[in-house]
Amino acid sequence: MRHNGRPVILASSLPPNLLSLSARGGCALVECPDCGKWRSMKRGMITAHRGPHVPGAEAWPAEFRPSPPRCPGSGQRVRVDESYAEWRARLDAAVREAGQRRGTRVIPRPKPPVPRAVTQMAAR
């Protein structure tokens, strides 16, 4: 498989939650930047896969539906330039930071009165 010609993505530049490294090394999972699904990596590239169905494909019966086209994110080069421990530390820090966030306070406001429909006004 050939790469898709786009510049190499460094694993350390990705958010830690879009990457999954194994403690034993080897298999790495990356979220495809085009279709947003988790894909495995082989030879430093995202494996070839098919993207989402073209719009309107649901209208076809399942047996005649054309298979979805190849995802343009196939063959994206990703260089894993950090160790499992480094990635794990980054992920833990991100999880801790997200856990400290507070939701905004919801202030309930009274809803404005809805005027009656024109037909109802005429009836009065």
Among 32, 41, 78, 80, binds Zn ion (CB under 5 A): 32
Longest dimension (CA), the chain: 78
**Which has the closest alpha carbon to 52: 71, 33, 39, 38?**
71
Contact between 9 and Zn ion per CB under 5 A: no
Q: Which residue lies nearer to Zn ion by CB, 51 or 86?
A: 51
Q: Which residue lies nearer to Zn ion by CB, 57 or 94?
A: 57
Contact between 73 and Zn ion per CB under 5 A: yes
Contact between 75 and Zn ion per CB under 5 A: no
**Residues 21 and 89 sit within 8 Å (Cβ to Cβ):** no
What DSSP character marks residue 84? H
Q: What are phi and psi of 39, to 5 degrees?
A: -130, 150
Please state, in angstroms and rounded to a whole number, the distance separating the CA atoms of residues 14 and 70. Answer: 23
Selected range binding Zn ion among 2-10, 21-29, 33-41, 75-83, rule: CB under 5 A:
33-41
Among 21, 30, 45, 71, binds Zn ion (CB under 5 A): 71
